[in-house]
């Protein structure tokens, strides 16, 4: 078990599978509700993150199920980004950040001592709020990650496959040598998604990936997420309730506690959260009555 994060050959998901366009299957296969065991890719246990002395999120226990889209919603400043970044140890890059508790990835704690954060981040990829392509060519944006990880296959094929998967290939196939910045905002964000999937992660974390995009681009990325969900586990932070409802299978609701620390107050199937939430605060928030 211990070697899993260090040895990348132990692949759970193979990208050679063709992504079949899955219809939004009704969530209902959750462990607790259905009894049928569902594979959990990521689990957090008593996860706390501090910035200096400030407790940003408290005791988060969340299960992210394999090949499902989990949305994290909640008011601004409640720690959604913090939670997301602690799932692939990106928070460590903030010097004052400190993480306690556990994040289990396929049964192994990514915060365990011998685990290499570099390997964690390859297997748990990330797409950021603001599109951030490298100031390099479109081709190089995608090939670079594969190259540093010692990709042995045909790079051209990988670039094409990743761009196709990110629904960008048709738009850029004739200008792969142009700068990633020559693309529109929505195209840039899809380039970032293509870049993330090119290193064949198992989980993709997305922090408000559509917040800078127009409705058309947003729609394309949502479509893309549904497609990717057939092979990847996806976690998305969003402020857009419709988006969470449209795209996700499960939804976690976060809220600021009394002492300004973020807490996870409810977690359920997206359907349930939006129709019969257990917590009145959730209901206020998803219906827009929250102050």
Site mask for ligand ATP (CB under 6 A), range 62-101, x = bound: --------------xxxxxxx-----------x-x-----
123 interacts with other proteins by CB under 8 A: yes
Which of 13, 15, 48, 51 binds ligand ATP (CB under 6 A)? It is: 51
Q: How many residues bind Mg ion (CB under 5 A)?
A: 1
Does 56 bind ligand ATP (CB under 6 A)? Our answer is yes
Instruction: Report the relative pairing of strands 262-269 and 250-256 from DSSP bridges.
Output: antiparallel
| Binding partner selected for residue 238 from Mg ion, other proteins, ligand ATP, none, CB under the kind-specific 5 to 8 Å limit | none
User: Which one of 61-69, 76-84, 88-96, 277-285 is the stretch in contact with other proteins (CB under 8 A)?
Assistant: 88-96
Binding at 82: pick from Mg ion, other proteins, ligand ATP, none (beta carbon under 5-8 Å per type): ligand ATP
Q: How many residues belong to the site for ligand ATP (CB under 6 A)?
A: 12
Q: How far is the CB of 256 from Mg ion (least distance, A)?
A: 13
| DSSP code, position 61 | E
> CA-CA distances (angstroms) from residue 187 to 122, 126, 128, 251?
23, 17, 14, 27
> Rounded CA gap, 11 and 19, in Å?
17
- Closer of 55 and 172 to ligand ATP (Cβ): 55
Using CB under 5 A, which residues numbered 63 to 102 contact Mg ion? Answer: 81
Residues 231 and 17 sit within 8 Å (Cβ to Cβ): yes
Q: Which region, judged by CB under 8 A, interacts with other proteins, from 27-35, 86-94, 223-231, 252-260? A: 86-94
Say how far apart CA 244 and CA 282 lie, in whole Å.
Answer: 13
Beta partners for residue 267, in sequence order: 252
Please tell me the total number of residues recorded for the chain in this structure.
291
Residue 38 CA neighbour count, 13 Å, CB half: 19
Indicate whether 84 belongs to the interface with other proteins (CB under 8 A): no
CB 70 within 8 Å of CB 250: yes
Structure tokens at 109: 């704690």
The residue among 95 and 280 lying less far from other proteins, judged by its C-beta, is: 95
Q: How far apart are CA 191 and CA 202, in angstroms?
A: 18
Residues lying near ligand ATP in the complex (CB under 6 A) are found at: 51, 56, 76-82, 94, 96, 262
């Amino acid at each position: 078990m211990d070697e899993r994060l260090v040895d990348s050959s132990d692949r759970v998901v193979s990208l050679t599978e063709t992504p079949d366009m899955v219809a939004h299957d009704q969530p209902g296969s959750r462990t607790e509700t259905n009894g049928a065991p569902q594979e959990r890719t990521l689990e957090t246990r008593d996860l706390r993150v501090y910035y200096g002395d400030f407790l940003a999120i408290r005791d988060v226990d969340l299960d992210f199920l394999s090949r499902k889209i989990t949305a994290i919603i909640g008011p601004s400043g409640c720690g959604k980004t913090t939670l997301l970044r602690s799932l692939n140890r990106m928070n460590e890059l903030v010097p004052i950040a400190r993480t306690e508790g556990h994040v289990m990835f396929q049964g192994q704690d990514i915060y365990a001592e011998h685990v290499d954060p570099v390997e964690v981040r390859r297997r748990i990829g990330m797409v950021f709020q603001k599109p951030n392509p490298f100031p390099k060519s479109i081709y190089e944006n995608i090939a670079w990650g594969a190259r540093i990880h010692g990709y042995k296959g045909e790079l051209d094929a990988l670039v094409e496959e990743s761009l196709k998967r990110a629904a960008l290939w048709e738009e850029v196939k004739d200008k792969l040598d142009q700068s990633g910045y020559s693309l529109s905002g929505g195209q840039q964000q899809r380039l970032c998604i293509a870049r993330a999937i090119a290193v064949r992660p198992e989980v993709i974390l997305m922090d408000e990936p559509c917040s800078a995009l127009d409705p058309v681009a947003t729609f394309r990325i949502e479509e893309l997420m549904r497609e990717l969900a057939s092979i990847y586990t996806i976690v998305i932070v969003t402020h857009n309730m419709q988006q969470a409802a449209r795209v996700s299978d499960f939804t976690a609701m976060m809220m600021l506690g009394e002492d300004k620390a973020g807490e996870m107050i409810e977690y359920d199937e997206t359907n349930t959260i939006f129709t019969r939430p257990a917590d009145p605060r959730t209901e206020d928030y998803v219906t827009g009555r929250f102050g």
